[in-house]
Amino acid sequence: MAFPRPKPTTMETLAMERANPPFNIRKMSIAMHGSEKALILKEKFMAEIARHPAFKLSDIHDLSKDELRERTMEKFASMVYFVTNESLETFQLRMQLIGIADPSFWTRFGVAYGLFLGALRSGATPNQLSYWTDRGVLGLNGVIGCFAMTELAHGSNVAGLETTATFDRGSDEFVIHTPHLGATKWWIGGAASTATHAAVFAQMIADGKRHGVKTFVTQLRDTKTFTLMPGVTIGDIGKKMGRDGIDNGYIQFTYVRVPRAHMLMKHTQVSRDGVVTEPPLAQLTYGALLGGRTSMVTDSSNSAKKALTVAVRYAAVRRQFATGKNELETQLLDYPIHQRRLMPLVAQAIAIGFTGLRLQVMYEDMTQALDTMEPSDPNLNDILDKLKETHATSAGLKAFCTWACLDTIDKCRQSCGGHGYSAYSNFPLMYADFAVQCTWEGDNTILSLQAGRSLVGAWGAAVKGKKLAPGVAYLNDSSLISAKSDSSLSLSDIQRAWNCVASNVIKKAAEEYVRLLKSGKSKDEAMEKCSQSRFIAAKIHTIGYIFRLFKEAVEEMKDDEESRTLKTVAKLYGLWQIEEQQGYFLKYGYLDAQQMDKVQESVDALCQEVRGVAIPLIDSFALSDHIINSPLGRWDGSVYESYFAQVQAANPLPKEHPYFTRLIKPLLERQDEDMEDPGSAMGLDDELKEIEEERKGE
Amino acid sequence: MAFPRPKPTTMETLAMERANPPFNIRKMSIAMHGSEKALILKEKFMAEIARHPAFKLSDIHDLSKDELRERTMEKFASMVYFVTNESLETFQLRMQLIGIADPSFWTRFGVAYGLFLGALRSGATPNQLSYWTDRGVLGLNGVIGCFAMTELAHGSNVAGLETTATFDRGSDEFVIHTPHLGATKWWIGGAASTATHAAVFAQMIADGKRHGVKTFVTQLRDTKTFTLMPGVTIGDIGKKMGRDGIDNGYIQFTYVRVPRAHMLMKHTQVSRDGVVTEPPLAQLTYGALLGGRTSMVTDSSNSAKKALTVAVRYAAVRRQFATGKNELETQLLDYPIHQRRLMPLVAQAIAIGFTGLRLQVMYEDMTQALDTMEPSDPNLNDILDKLKETHATSAGLKAFCTWACLDTIDKCRQSCGGHGYSAYSNFPLMYADFAVQCTWEGDNTILSLQAGRSLVGAWGAAVKGKKLAPGVAYLNDSSLISAKSDSSLSLSDIQRAWNCVASNVIKKAAEEYVRLLKSGKSKDEAMEKCSQSRFIAAKIHTIGYIFRLFKEAVEEMKDDEESRTLKTVAKLYGLWQIEEQQGYFLKYGYLDAQQMDKVQESVDALCQEVRGVAIPLIDSFALSDHIINSPLGRWDGSVYESYFAQVQAANPLPKEHPYFTRLIKPLLERQDEDMEDPGSAMGLDDELKEIEEERKGE
């Protein structure tokens, strides 16, 4: 007597969700990827890695750390063809895609290709660069680099690093030394077992004088035998929360000598006689940081989209509880609360995606402008202002976008119920891999405070009447402080809402800072004391900034079905975030209590509206089954069949029970009669009884 | 030339933090543990497991899933002595402690001891229970049970389970059957390799009629050989996010026969002739669920305290950046923003801890009252009302306390910077292990909605003038709706604030529900439609409830240094949460914008105040170094030394490089000259060029 199976099947359900999409999925996908070219290349990369044995992903949850690391180097080897033969632009898109599929490998490759080579590019003189190029550094042959900055006791405070590089004039060498345990280089990706050289950050000392932290290219291992160089001690840092495919290590130097020429001397030079020439201006590093942060914003969007692809498809096919007279159980996605759980996150991931695209363009424009500009150019100051502002905003973006993505991954996991806890759902690995993004390249809280500091400065400049750079130009409009909603909740009303509230929270932070200064605090103390207000300022400014960039992107599009859908998505993002931060909108009077109720109603309605196009919208994220690597999010909806097949394939039962005879059999067959009463043996009983008596006596 | 080491050492720093604590740590610890007896027993359990080889924790991050599972059964075997010989109360405290140290093992043991035995205790007739007791079920010998409820396609909806148990009158047996893939028993802890029997939940069918889900004790494996019983198919579910020490499996039954007497018949009976007798009243399961939720509230507090012990001690000894003219870098804990990151979480963990203690007492009182009460007792209805209300509130508590703890663990991880990402910090495992608490025993969102539904009901009853149970009695005070702050921000002002705002959000949900009903929606539809408001109602009510229980506990204490400190902690908790939920306090006018600024200032000041006693406060959580299992949180402050030693011990370097010759050497020595230009080989170039041309033409 078979129990009647519910109809339709999960596959049929997903097909129905795809029938008659109200917009063209391809066109939507192109808009989200910035260009058709970018989309086509992504599809090509996805096909390539889906077919490459080293990029197999379905078995990744059951590999040991050692197996993961070995596979990382297989992937590494498979990349050198492209790194040598592809254009930089194409290769960067390739790496962006690989970053979504396999963050562990992306990190190992990025350490060699991004950080180590980046250190050379930005720090080496032309002669030095050509020396290292001759040794094969650009093609990743001859030299495989790592980046030895962080130490056990110093992370954020780079200027406080304690490794020393002392100039020895006699031998024309620097002596690299780790003076104590806390100065051990720590977390160094690639150091444990795969790097030949390191860019070592150390306090440079010449003639007994300290000149601050410089970079020294230091050989770690013999390239023929891979044995450690004399004086170099290396250990494996071992298991991490995620990204176990990268071999992080520690390094201790015991009076290791490197030629003077191995200090990167584009900025500071040390002559044969030990004369130190400092650069005329502090090094301009805004550009480099900006590039990294831009890519982290994009990666936050992509990683969130990956998690959402799984959660939304699963919510479409998973049915639970029949409502009313329905025989068929209800799709999770049809529950208002489930729409509330996922649709705002979809909107946010899309908003951050468009922000990343526009940031990329701004970054490229600025880099080009700086590269082609003469120091005498009359626009130089404007461009530098803009760069500085974007740099500060990007600090906030890095923080709040990576937080948003991490939060999205875990909410997606929870939305899939128990199955989200299975490794094969891929959420656990996504979370574990992504979590480090909130810490590296600047702890998110500290970056937020930096952004807040800059906003306090911008407020001060605005008060003095200075025209501000575009990202904070709203601070020049003093009428915003007391603005009120026109009750339309239109995109421009929402934009004004964010500008109003951001102006107010920035003003609060700035006034707090000034008040603290007036009360006699030093600048540093005052900044620390107003941290909480600075943090809030950065948060609100950043959300408003993301909303603005998304809105601009959508408004620049032709008026078609795709842009109309995206306007709905933008509205959901803006209003949902108003709801999330409602305290500030009420506090500064942009919205009153009744309007806030309307906001909640609108968010409910928008969630329902976006739910109607949820599957086509997710499809336009264009992530292959191989990339999302989760049976719960299968494109064809065959959720249970794929999940069961993967669980079976990954967990063959052993021929013999590994510990039945040793552990379980004696348990099952034991007789407890001979055991002594534990009371007297434990010795605690009398003491506990006394306590009991005392208690009763009280 | 050695770099001068900063003074004092990390160990000296922690010692200084402990000098002259403003309260007695032992007394504080007793208050937090509910009694001196509970604390002494905990210390005894901690000492025992620290010395027991099976409970070794320092190597746990580097064990494989199979090794973890085998060790689980070693621990299992070590428990049977205590389960047989200790009083229930003592054994429960033991398990509570072990739950903090080792959630994986706790789960496996809980499945056998809590769920399987619990199913027997609550569902078996006295005769059935004595039958199973004779077979060794109480002492966990002869029978090791698991709990086969969840299926692949059904979790939350237990009534929708699809496994069938069809009565065969001819043989006086039930036939247990899995009709299709979705009905496969899934996630069954202990099934994969360690259980002999299962309590199987299945749709009972007699004479072609379905009678709903009942429980059938079904043998899975032969107890002598451990081979599977005929018709039983079992597989391993494999890797999970955490708790890999428990062997979750799936089970498929193919017409498996069990004697009729193996259906648990305390409530529904099936006679020899197949006559089904339903119980006169629906089963009263409030009590059982309440016990589980109470223990999850306590576990949330304990797990949060474990993470905070690490983060706060680390923040005390970690120094980064020198401020002003100091040569010594500043302790993280002295930064206002770091105080903001951790001190509210400390307050929250303590608040939830006191809530758990009081909940436990309420639960025990209720159980006793129910056990000793006659059906004719005039107080029966009052007690049932109270039970029902506590049951609903406990649903919200389970949800918001487990969420709060999960959030605390990740915030603690982030507050430790990069080192928090190391497996040896123990945060990754704490997070991964704890994460499932938000899903099992009811998905948190769904439980919140249940709590919200009950609050909507309570509002309706209050409007009709009914006197409500204590937990929601504030709804009887209609003046709270329009209450205003007396600006004192005292504990009672804070309590009124929560009561006011909770009343308002519950009123909003209830009015929305009534409006939807009036517009023609069915009750079910109306409830679903007002989900978001129900969710908010549950959230605000729950926070206010936690605050109230904490406040009551503290106000009942003698007026001494300990209670004064705890009052400060309570104030921080209440005001910080007001800040977090400030929108509602502004919206409903309990506080205005200026008062809200005062709240922010007070929270800043309270964070600083609690920071002053942070280390003694953390010490009174009384968690041993073995339990916290994190070098970053060492009691003696030897953070770097312990961390380095553990990393070294866990990661001995291999004698030979496992893949240098195969993978790295060819990379280093390769010559790329022979590689062809990739363009023509890729075939995409022409297409991409066309796109580029088109783009330019636009």
CB of B69 within 8 A of CB of B246?
yes
Cβ–Cβ < 8 Å for A11, B187: no
Tokens in use for A414? 């929870």
Question: Is A669 assigned a catalytic role?
Answer: no
Query: Which of 469-498 (B) contact A at CB < 8 A?
Result: none
* A181 chain-B contacts, CB cut-off 8 A: 640-641, 644
Q: In this model, does residue A243 exceed pLDDT 80?
A: yes
pLDDT in tens, B507-526: 999 999 999 999 999 999 99
A594 vs B378 pLDDT, higher one:
A594
* Burial label, A693 (beta-carbon count in 10 A; 0-12, 13-18, 19+): exposed
* Cα B493 to Cα B255, B510, B600, distances in angstroms: 64, 25, 16
- Confidence tier at A2 by pLDDT (50, 70, 90): very low
The band of A176, judged by pLDDT with boundaries at 50, 70 and 90, is very high
Does the structure show a pLDDT above 60 at A280? Answer: yes
Three state DSSP letters for B142-202: CCCEEEECCECCECCCHHHCCCEEEEECCCCEEEEECCCHHHCEEEEECCCCCCCEEEEEE
For residue A473, pLDDT over 80 is answered with yes
Radius of gyration of chain A, Cα coordinates, nearest whole angstrom? 29
The residue of chain A nearest to residue B683, with distances taken between CA atoms, is A44
- Which residues 6+ apart lie within 8 Å of A558 measured at CB? none
User: Residue A289: pLDDT above 80?
Assistant: no
Check whether B391 has a pLDDT greater than 90: no
Span B87-100, mean pLDDT? Answer: 92
In three-state secondary structure terms, B12 is helix
Element (H, E) at B446: helix B444-463
Q: What is the pLDDT of residue A283?
A: 52
Task: Output the CA torsion sign for B55, B56, B62, B67.
Answer: negative
CB B99, CB B106: distance < 8 Å: yes
Cis bond leading into B8, ω under 30°?
Answer: yes
Q: Which 33-52 residues of chain B touch chain A by CB within 8 A? A: 35-37, 40-41, 44
Mean pLDDT of B192-200: 97
pLDDT at A378 over 70: yes
Query: Would you place residue B680 in the very low, low, confident or very high pLDDT band (cuts 50, 70, 90)?
Result: very low
Return the residue in B425, B587, B607 with the most chain A beta carbons within 10 A, the one to mutate for interface testing. Answer: B587
Annotated active-site residue in A43, A48, A67, A441: A441
- Which residues in chain B have their CB less than 8 angstroms from residue A438's CB? 414
Q: Which residues contact B387 (CB under 8 A, 6 or more apart)?
A: B286, B287, B290, B366, B370
A residues 628-687 closer than 8 Å to B (CB): 640-641, 643-644, 647-648, 650-651, 653, 657-660, 663-672, 675, 677-678, 682, 684, 687
Q: Is the pLDDT of residue A1 over 60?
A: no
Contact criterion met (CB below 8 Å) for B553 and B547 = no
At A346, list the tokens. 């979809």
pLDDT at residue A659 above 60? yes
Distance CA B601, CA A18 (A): 52
CA distance B236 to B250: 6
Q: Mean pLDDT over residues B203-226, rounded? A: 96
Task: Give the pairing type, strands A173-177 and A232-236.
Answer: unpaired
H/E segment holding residue A277: strand A276-277
Going through A105-196 in order, the beta strands assigned E by DSSP cover 145-148, 164-168, 173-177, 185-189
Model confidence at A681, in pLDDT bands (50, 70, 90)? very low
Burial of residue B261 (CB within 10 Å: 0-12, 13-18, 19+) is middle
CB atoms within 10 A of CB A681: 10
Alpha helices in B86-151 (DSSP H): 88-101, 103-110, 117-123, 126-134
HSE on the CB side for A657, CA within 13 Å? 20
State the average pLDDT for chain A: 93
DSSP code for B660: I
* pLDDT confidence of residue A88: 87
- Beta-carbon contacts of A325 under 8 Å, excluding residues fewer than 6 positions away, are none
Q: How many CB atoms lie within 10 A of CB A388?
A: 15
From A37, A320, A532, residue closest to B688, measured CB to CB:
A37
Three-state secondary structure call for residue B251: strand
3-state SS class at A206 = strand
Rounded CA separation B599/B578 (Å) = 8
Rg (CA), chain B: 29
DSSP class of residue A224 equals: T
Asked if the Cβ–Cβ distance from A144 to B667 is below 8 Å, we say yes
Answer whether A41's CB lies under 8 Å from A95's CB. no
- Convert the pLDDT of each residue in A544-570 to its tens digit: 999 999 999 999 999 999 999 999 999
CB contact B64 to A (< 8 Å): yes
What percentage of chain A exceeds 70 in pLDDT?
95
Inter-chain CB proximity A667 and B593 less than 8 Å: no
Q: Tell me if B57 sits within 8 A of B102, measured CB to CB.
A: yes
| pLDDT of B3 higher than 60 | no
Is position A568 annotated in a ligand binding site? no
DSSP SS3 for B671: coil
pLDDT in tens, B415-459: 999 999 999 999 999 999 999 999 999 999 999 999 999 999 999
State pLDDT tens for residues A412-444: 999 999 999 999 999 999 999 999 999 999 999
Helix (H) or strand (E) run with residue A219 in it: strand A209-219
Q: Which B-chain residues 566-595 have CB contacts (< 8 A) with chain A?
A: 581-583, 585-589, 593
- Judged against a pLDDT cut of 80, whether residue A693 lies above it is answered with no
d(CA B159, CA B214): 10
Q: A138 vs chain B: nearest CA distance in angstroms? A: 12
B259 forms beta bridges with B173
Instruction: Reduce the DSSP state of residue A253 to 3 states and report it.
Output: strand
Q: Which helix (H) or strand (E) holds B211?
A: strand B209-219
Q: Return the closest-CA partner of residue B622 out of B343, B409, B309, B413.
A: B309
Each residue of B299-325: pLDDT tens digit? Answer: 999 999 999 999 999 999 999 988 777
Task: Select from B421, B646, B682 the residue whose CB has the most chain A CBs within 10 Å, as the one to mutate to test that interface.
Answer: B421
Of the listed ranges A135-139, A194-198, A261-265, B651-655, the least confidently predicted one is A135-139
First-to-last CA distance in chain A? 66
- Average confidence (pLDDT) over B387-407: 93
Among chain A residues, the shortest Cα distance to B607 is held by A532
Instruction: Give the pLDDT score at A5.
Output: 52
Q: Which two tokens stand for residue B253?
A: 């039954």
Share the mean pLDDT of chain B. Answer: 93
Contacts of B364 (CB under 8 A, 6+ apart): none
Within 10 A of B396 (CB to CB), how many other CB atoms are there? 29
Residue A697 has pLDDT above 80, yes or no: no
Comparing A264-273, A358-367, B394-403, the range with the smallest average pLDDT is A358-367
**Chain A closest-CA separation from residue B452 CA (Å):** 13
Confidence of residue A674 (pLDDT cuts 50, 70, 90): low
pLDDT for residue A387: 83
Q: Which residue of B has its CA nearest to A63?
A: B64
Q: pTM of the full predicted structure?
A: 0.96
Is A189 marked within a binding site? yes
Distance from the B216 Cα atom to the nearest Cα atom in chain A, whole angstroms: 18
Q: What integer pLDDT is reported at residue B1 of this predicted model? A: 37
Q: Tell me the sheet residues that pair with A263.
A: A216
B331 touches chain A (CB under 8 A): no
User: Which of chain A's residues have a Cβ under 8 Å away from the Cβ of B450?
Assistant: none
Can you list the domains of chain B with their CATH numbers?
A: 141-270 (2.40.110.10), 444-628 (1.20.140.10)
Largest CA distance in chain A: 96
Using the predicted structure, report yes or no on whether residue B388 has a pLDDT greater than 90. Answer: no
Instruction: Determine contact: B423 vs chain A, CB below 8 A.
Output: yes
pLDDT at B288 over 90: no
Rounded to whole angstroms, the Cα distance separating B393 from B506 reads 13
Range in A251-260, B281-290, B574-583, B615-624 the model is least confident about? B281-290
Buried b (16+ CB within 10 A) or exposed e, B648-682: eebbeeeeebebbeebbbebbebeeeeeeeeeeeb
Residue B390: the pLDDT is: 84
Q: Which residues of chain A lie closer than 8 angstroms to B134, CB-CB?
A: none
Enter the ipTM.
0.96
Distance of CA A236 to the CA centre of its chain: 24
Q: How would residue A384 be classed by pLDDT, with cut points 50, 70 and 90?
A: confident
- Cβ(B534)–Cβ(B453) below 8 Å: yes
For residue B240, the cross-strand partners are A422
B608 contact A CB<8A: no
DSSP A297-321: HHHHHHHHHHHHHHHHHHHHH-B--
Taking only the tens place, the pLDDT of each residue in A581-594 is: 999 999 999 999 99
Cross-chain residue pair A604–B250, CB shorter than 8 Å: no
Q: Is A161 helix (H, G, I), strand (E, B) or coil?
A: coil
d(CA A614, CA A342): 10
Q: Which two tokens stand for residue A613?
A: 């196009």
> What's the CA gap between B98 and B100, in Å, rounded?
5
Catalytic residue among B48, B70, B86, B441: B441
**pLDDT computed for residue B283 by the predictor:** 52
User: A443: closest CA among B435, B413, B424, B633?
Assistant: B413
Distance of residue B237 Cα from the nearest chain A Cα, in angstroms: 6
* Interface contact flag, B641 A153, Cβ < 8 Å: no
Q: CB of B88 within 8 Å of any CB in chain A? A: no
Amino acid at B317: V
Q: How far is B336 from chain A (nearest CA, A)?
A: 6
Give B349 to chain A, closest Cα distance, Å.
21
Closest residue to B336, CB basis, from A238, A413, A532:
A532
The length of chain A is 698
What is the per-residue pLDDT for A6?
Answer: 52
Q: Which residues of chain A neighbour B223 with C-beta distances below 8 Å?
A: 668
Q: Considering only CB atoms, which chain A residues are within 8 Å of B581?
A: 583
Query: Angle CA(A11)–CA(A16)–CA(A20) in degrees, nearest 5?
Result: 140
